[in-house]
Amino acid sequence: MIRIDLPELARRKGRPAAKLPPVGPTLACELSVRKVMMDSIRMVEQALRENRELFPEVKRGLTPDAATLSQEARRVPKARVSRGRARASGRRPLLVRGPAGEAWWTVSSLLRKGTYRLADEVPRRPLRDAAFGFDLFMAQLRSALDHSSGQAQGKVAQAYAAEERRHRARLGKSIQKRYGFSMEDIFSDRDLTAQVQAATQTSVALIRGLNDDLAKKVEFTVLDAAQREQTTSELAQRLRKELGVSRARAKLIASDQVASLNATLNRVRHQQVGLDKYVWETMMDDRVRPDHQDRQGRIFFWDDPPPDGHPGQPINCRCVAAAYVG
C-alpha cells in the first residue's frame, strides 16, 4: 500500500488549499445497530404478552400466608427484609431479600429446593407456584436476553465492517477525483481492523447493559405493581413507559456509536494521507449545540482537539470532520 502526502502532492500540482466533501455516518449503519437493540425490546414485549396471566398469580401470591412465610423467613441468617407501606386496610406483606440480595420469589423457590434452611422451630409451609413461576419466567427472560447479547457481537461487527467499506469508498473517490490516485493505492481493508473491533466491543458492551436494564425494569415493575395491588392495565401502562425509555436509549446509543465510529474512521484515514487538520461541519439546524455552531467552518488540528473532542466524539454529536488539504 502506497502512503501519500496529499498536502505535498497538492503543492506540487499547484492546487490551492481545499476542503474535500465531508464523509459522515450513514443511516443504514445506524438502523442496523438500532435493530439489534430493538430485537431485544420486542422479545421482552412478546414474553410479557405471552405471560399476561402470571401477574394476577403473583398478586394472589401476596396473601396473608405468604406474608407469614416472609415474616418467618427473616430468621434466615443475613436475610434482609424490606417493609411495604401500611395501607388503610392493613399492613402490606413483607418482601424478603436473601443473603445475596435475591428477591422474595427467588428465596421462596430456593426454600422449596432446600437451599435455604429455616430455623428448626419454624414450621414448613407450602409455597405457592406463582412465586416459582415468576422466578422461572425471569430466569428464562434473562437467558434469552443473554443469548441476544451474544448474537449482537456478530451483527454489530458486520454492520461496522460495511460502514468502514462505505467510508473508504466515499473518501477514496473524492481523493481520486481531485488528485488522480485510485482508492486501492490509498487505503486498505485491513488498516482499520483494530479500530473497528474496538468500536464493536464498546457497542456490544452497551447493548449488554441495555439488556440487563430491561430485565431489571421488568422484574421491579411487575413486583412493585403487585405490591401496590395495581390492575393489569396499570401494569401494562407502566411497562409501556419503561420500554419506551429503553427504546429512546437504544436510539441514542445507536446514533452515538455510529457517529463515534465515523469520527475514528475520519481521523485515521485523514492522518494516513498526511492530513493533519480538518474543517468542522455541523448539521446546520436548531439541534446543533451552541458551542458547535461557533465551530462551523473553522479549521482544527487532529492533534489538538477541542475540549469536548473532535466531531462525532461528544455524546449525540452529529458533526463531521471534513478533510482539509493545504
Boundaries of every domain in the chain: 6-53+131-269+276-325, 64-127
Beta bridge partners of 277: 301
Q: E strands, 206-318, where?
A: 277-281, 299-301
Task: Determine the pLDDT at residue 306.
Answer: 95
Q: How many CA atoms lie within 13 A of 131 on its CB side?
A: 25
Task: Determine the pLDDT at residue 107.
Answer: 38
What is the rounded distance in angstroms from the CA atom of residue 190 to the CA atom of residue 174?
Answer: 20
* The three cell numbers locating residue 95: 418482601
In the three-class reduction of DSSP (H, G, I as helix; E, B as strand; rest coil), residue 324 is classed as: strand
What is the rounded distance in angstroms from the CA atom of residue 182 to the CA atom of residue 169?
Answer: 10
Task: Determine the pLDDT at residue 71.
Answer: 44
| Helix (H), strand (E) at residue 264 | helix 232-272
Residues 6+ apart with CB under 8 A from 307: none
Task: Determine the pLDDT at residue 257.
Answer: 97
Task: Determine the pLDDT at residue 132.
Answer: 61
Task: Determine the pLDDT at residue 308.
Answer: 94
The ranges of the chain with pLDDT < 70 are 1-3, 62-132, 183-185
Task: Determine the pLDDT at residue 62.
Answer: 65
Residues 6+ apart with CB under 8 A from 49: none
Task: Determine the pLDDT at residue 42.
Answer: 95
218-222 LR contacts (CB < 8 Å, sep 24+)? 218/44, 218/48, 218/138, 218/141, 218/242, 219/103, 219/138, 222/54, 222/55, 222/58, 222/134
Task: Determine the pLDDT at residue 75.
Answer: 43
Q: What is the pairing mode between strands 299-301 and 277-281?
A: antiparallel
Task: Determine the pLDDT at residue 114.
Answer: 40
pTM: 0.77
Task: Determine the pLDDT at residue 48.
Answer: 93
pLDDT digits (tens, 9 = 90+) for 200-236: 999 999 999 999 999 999 999 998 998 888 999 999 9
| Helix (H), strand (E) at residue 83 | none
Beta bridge partners of 324: 19
